[in-house]
Amino acid sequence: MSILIMSRMFKASLGSSSRKIMALRLADFADDDGRGIWPTVARLSRETELSERTVQRILADFVEEGLLVVVQEASGRPGQATRYDFDIAVVEKLEEGKGRGDTMSPVDGGETGDTDDDRGDIDDRDGCHHDTRTVIEPLVEPLMEREARGSDGSKERRRAIEKAFWRTIKGWPGFDGMPKENSKREWFKLTAEERSLAEQRRDAWIALLRSQKKSHTPAPSTYFAEKLFNDVAAAAVPSESTQVHKAMTKAWFASFLAEFSKPMSTKWPAPNAFDQRQMHNAEFAAEYRRRRQMSHGWPRAKAMADDPRATSVLAQVEELSQAFVSIERESREWLNWKAYFEQMAWPWPVSSFKYWFLPPGSPDEAMCTYLANFNDGTSEAAE
């Protein structure tokens, strides 16, 4: 939830109460950068008390106006909706009172756009696409591609990003002579930080596949789209002392916690204009720093927490994980660990697994002991 985006929407001129409540509900899903919005049409309809048809229309309007950007279309699988980001530049213009009025569909019966027909656009009582996707055309230009052009329309940033793309795919096993457009499209969808990691870890990831005796190397488009570069540690080339472990196992948790032995990254995105204006408020500034630290302080830990998946683990780390104990989700111990991570402004894994594996003891003491053992173990290995 982003209080910052919601406060902007409260001040924005959106043209109707329907559009206002929709914008506020979308802001409730977004982070402080306006990203990460993927509720289903059915959920938005249920929570805003607007018809699914009205929800679809308003979403389409927001995309057409540039307020929302389609990052990834719905896959068509149940429960997987289209993913959006807010365009912060457009949000700021709305806040300044430059929004547009509502554009009502001819078939709408009132301010909310609701009609007595709850079937949507086709004869289907559950709506035209049930609970799975939003029916709109995606922007021709993806978000990262728009950002790459720069606010002044310059293509310099795009050229730099494209140059990095060609560096990354150069010499890719089995990729010579194959179409590159799909891979380039997935490359532009990545954030700047993700593109940097993808390039830095390319060779380590390919080496990981070879160490596992994989007979096929996925195309770069798969490597980018599934963020497979998160499967390897930065600058760590897999060797006999490294093995791949499934997500949410003891070894996975040990590798995840080991990330916090590293110094906090200082490569944070610059605050936008709205945030800068609020920095005089000490309470706001402290909360802003905490959230930014959680999002950008430990990039690999954040990636592992947001999308738990199989990862390579050093033998020393796997050995340390044997002392970890099983903790049931939502138990008192689990809640204590979650509160500790919030206090430390560390990312907490997004997973519904029933059992998690963490060091024994109170979180503070357990982490101190584990990181001390980890540092000792890796130092000995380096020697």
Q: List pLDDT tens digits, range 196-223.
A: 888 888 888 887 777 777 777 888 988 9
Question: Which runs of E-coded beta strand occur in the chain?
Answer: 68-72, 83-86, 242-245, 311-314, 325-328, 355-358
Q: Are residues 166 and 122 in the same domain?
A: no
The stretch 215-235 carries a mean pLDDT of 80
Count of domains forming the chain: 2
**Which range of residues forms the domain containing residue 159?**
141-218
Q: Are residues 51 and 120 in the same domain?
A: yes
**Which amino acid appears at position 67 of this protein?**
L
Q: Are residues 112 and 24 in the same domain?
A: yes
The span from the CA of 54 to the CA of 44, in Å, is 10
User: Do 328 and 334 form a contact (C-beta atoms < 8 A)?
Assistant: yes
Least confident of 34-43, 140-149, 189-198, 284-293: 140-149
**122 dihedral zone (left: phi>0; alpha: psi -120 to 50; beta):** beta
Boundary (domain end) residue, out of 118, 139, 160 = 139
The span from the CA of 198 to the CA of 191, in Å, is 10
Q: Are residues 16 and 128 in the same domain?
A: yes
pLDDT at 121 over 60: no
Question: What are the backbone dihedrals phi and psi of residue 134, each rounded to the nearest 5 degrees, phi first?
Answer: -100, 130
pLDDT at 60 over 70: yes
Specify the pLDDT at position 79: 58
- Quick check: helix, strand or coil at residue 183? helix
The span from the CA of 230 to the CA of 285, in Å, is 30
Closest-CA residue to 242 (of 312, 317, 319): 312
Q: Are residues 16 and 123 in the same domain?
A: yes
Q: Look up the pTM and report it.
A: 0.42
User: How much is the mean pLDDT over the chain?
Assistant: 77
Within-domain flag for 106: yes
Comparing 132 with 168, the larger pLDDT belongs to: 168
Boundary (domain end) residue, out of 183, 199, 218 = 218
**Which amino acid appears at position 96 of this protein?**
E
Q: Are residues 149 and 135 in the same domain?
A: no
pLDDT > 70 fraction of the chain, expressed in percent and rounded: 77
Specify the pLDDT at position 329: 94
pLDDT in tens, 30-56: 887 788 898 888 889 888 999 888 998
Confidence bin at 111 (pLDDT 50/70/90) = very low
Within-domain flag for 326: no
pLDDT at 152 over 70: no
Q: Are residues 56 and 130 in the same domain?
A: yes
- Residue that the structure tokens 């899903």 belong to: 29
Within-domain flag for 67: yes
- Residue that the structure tokens 């150069």 belong to: 170
Tell me the β-bridge partners of 84.
Answer: 37, 70
Q: Are residues 114 and 176 in the same domain?
A: no
Question: What are the backbone dihedrals phi and psi of residue 195, each rounded to the nearest 5 degrees, phi first?
Answer: -65, -40
pLDDT > 90 fraction of the chain, expressed in percent and rounded: 20
Q: Are residues 146 and 199 in the same domain?
A: yes
Q: Are residues 122 and 170 in the same domain?
A: no
Specify the pLDDT at position 330: 94
Confidence bin at 116 (pLDDT 50/70/90) = very low
Closest-CA residue to 136 (of 73, 94, 189): 73
Boundary (domain end) residue, out of 139, 170, 204 = 139
Within-domain flag for 15: yes
The stretch 66-78 carries a mean pLDDT of 77
The span from the CA of 256 to the CA of 251, in Å, is 9
